[in-house]
């Protein structure tokens, strides 16, 4: 019997939804390579989670638990912000070979065949893609498989500018973002190179108006659904039963928050006020219940304040604050709590979202989504230098939702 070729894969991870997406891309890739009879050896690298420091340990624990539930791993490692900072400092005085050796020792492998990343910028990503530059470099995107460039409105921080119409905001945002990126590149080019991906696997390529600058394979939603389904055991059935009992047959609004104040897009008080105004832009059904799903990078303090602020709008506010539910992708809880066996909804449902988190619910389950704060709320609550890019992102999300409906 012939020995099967061993393919060693480094899979990088910066969050729970990113992990699910990466795992679905691995499954798609394995189907493509099935006729080659490969064996696989997997290394998971968790880093740059950008969560409040007191929540990071629990975040890492759940990512590891999710990963071990779905796949076998030669190693699962977490590279802390302190370790990355130490490497960044060493880059100023240490050559490539010593830096790469440090990364090899942290990850547990010298020469993988493939490396999977959600993006090829930000320090941790650049470090890993430079360290393993001989590997095939595969992009799986952010969220459920969406390409975000460094200049995407949702990503790029923007300097303060005067109040101007939306188009002028966007143009100025892009110009200043480009200047900032050039300065950043000039600072780092002698240390970490900009390295392109060989190929990208995306479930929704171009959905937010950005064309991935690489060869693209469009994946289907079946692998993604399969991974979400396997993780349903992470949701405590007793807790789901308890929540369903509290909700009963009432209409349900779901608010998917984002880490806007934590990312310094607005103050915490303004973010809380913005969510309340956002929910009030739509008619709230009598006796309706609000399910509050925090973003994994939200602070617990903000969520508690938000819960109290919204209590007067609904008969019940249910916050998914238990550890697994706080960090677990909402899609997993949604399947357990709000889908019947025939895939119909258990309750009248409506989702309020301010980020790309709404796209998967629309794509996978055809859930009605209300997207974005809108111009009035955004202009009065976001820091002035973020208003233009924020409005552009919301516009892109609405176009994306419409495109998904037409599929």
The percent of residues in the chain predicted with pLDDT above 70, rounded, is 90
DSSP label at residue 373: -
| pTM given for the model | 0.86
Q: How far apart are CA 379 and CA 387, in angstroms?
A: 6
Q: Identify any residues that bridge with 399 across adjacent strands, giving them in sequence order.
A: none
- What stretches of 283-386 show up as alpha helix (H) in DSSP? 300-310, 323-327, 330-338, 357-365, 375-381
Tens digit of pLDDT for each residue in 13-28? 999 999 999 999 999 9
Q: What is the pLDDT of residue 349?
A: 93
The percent of residues in the chain predicted with pLDDT above 90, rounded, is 74
Instruction: Tell me the residue length of the chain.
Output: 407
- For the cut 90, the answer to whether the pLDDT of residue 329 exceeds it is yes
Q: How confident is the model at residue 386 (pLDDT cuts 50, 70, 90)?
A: very high
- For the cut 80, the answer to whether the pLDDT of residue 108 exceeds it is yes
Average pLDDT of the chain is 89
Q: What is the pLDDT of residue 151?
A: 83
Q: What is the pLDDT of residue 185?
A: 47
- What stretches of 189-311 show up as alpha helix (H) in DSSP? 221-230, 237-247, 268-280, 300-310
Q: How far apart are CA 20 and CA 14, in angstroms?
A: 11
Instruction: Identify which has the larger pLDDT, 14 or 4.
Output: 14
Take residue 370 and report the two structure tokens written for it.
């209300």
Cβ atoms 374, 282 nearer than 8 A: no
Over residues 340-357, the mean pLDDT reads 91
Tens digit of pLDDT for each residue in 197-233? 999 999 988 888 889 999 999 999 999 999 999 999 9
Q: What is the pLDDT of residue 246?
A: 87
- For the cut 50, the answer to whether the pLDDT of residue 162 exceeds it is no
Which helix (H) or strand (E) element contains residue 159? none
DSSP label at residue 3: P
Tens digit of pLDDT for each residue in 374-385? 999 999 999 999
Q: How confident is the model at residue 155 (pLDDT cuts 50, 70, 90)?
A: low
Q: What is the pLDDT of residue 82?
A: 96
């Amino acid at each position: 019997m012939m020995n099967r070729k061993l393919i060693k894969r480094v899979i990088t991870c910066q969050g729970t939804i990113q992990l699910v997406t990466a795992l679905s891309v691995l499954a798609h890739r394995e189907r493509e390579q099935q006729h080659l009879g490969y064996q696989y050896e997997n290394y998971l690298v968790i880093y740059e989670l950008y969560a409040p420091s007191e929540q990071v340990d629990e975040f890492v624990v759940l990512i590891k638990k999710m990963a071990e539930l779905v796949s076998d791993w030669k190693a699962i490692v977490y590279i802390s912000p302190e370790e990355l900072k130490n490497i960044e400092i060493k880059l100023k005085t240490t050559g490539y070979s010593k830096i790469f050796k440090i990364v090899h020792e942290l990850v547990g492998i010298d020469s993988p065949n493939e490396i999977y990343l959600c993006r090829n910028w930000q320090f941790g990503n650049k470090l890993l893609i430079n360290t393993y530059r001989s590997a095939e470099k595969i992009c799986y995107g952010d969220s459920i498989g969406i390409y975000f460039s460094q200049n995407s409105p949702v990503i790029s921080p923007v300097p303060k500018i005067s109040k101007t119409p939306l188009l002028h905001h966007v143009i100025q945002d892009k110009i200043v973002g480009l200047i900032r990126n050039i300065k950043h590149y000039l600072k780092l080019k002698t240390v970490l190179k900009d390295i392109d991906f060989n190929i990208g696997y995306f479930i929704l390529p171009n959905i937010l108006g950005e064309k991935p600058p690489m060869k693209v394979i469009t994946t289907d939603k079946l692998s993604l659904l399969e991974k979400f389904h396997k993780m349903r055991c992470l949701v405590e059935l007793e807790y789901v039963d308890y929540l369903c009992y509290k909700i009963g047959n009432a209409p349900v609004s779901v608010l998917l928050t984002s880490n806007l104040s934590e990312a310094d897009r607005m103050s915490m008080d303004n973010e809380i006020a913005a969510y309340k105004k956002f929910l009030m832009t739509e008619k709230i059904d009598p006796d309706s219940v609000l399910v509050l799903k925090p973003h994994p990078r939200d602070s617990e303090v903000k969520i508690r304040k938000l819960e109290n602020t919204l209590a007067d709008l609904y008969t019940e506010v249910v916050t998914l604050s238990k550890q697994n539910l706080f960090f677990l992708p909402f899609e997993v809880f949604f399947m357990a709590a709000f889908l019947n066996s025939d895939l119909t909804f258990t309750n009248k449902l409506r989702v309020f979202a301010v980020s790309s988190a709404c796209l998967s619910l629309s794509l996978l389950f055809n859930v009605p989504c209300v997207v974005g704060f809108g111009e009035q709320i955004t202009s009065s609550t976001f820091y002035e230098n973020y208003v233009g890019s924020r409005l552009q992102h919301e516009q892109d999300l609405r176009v994306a939702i419409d495109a998904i409906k037409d599929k």
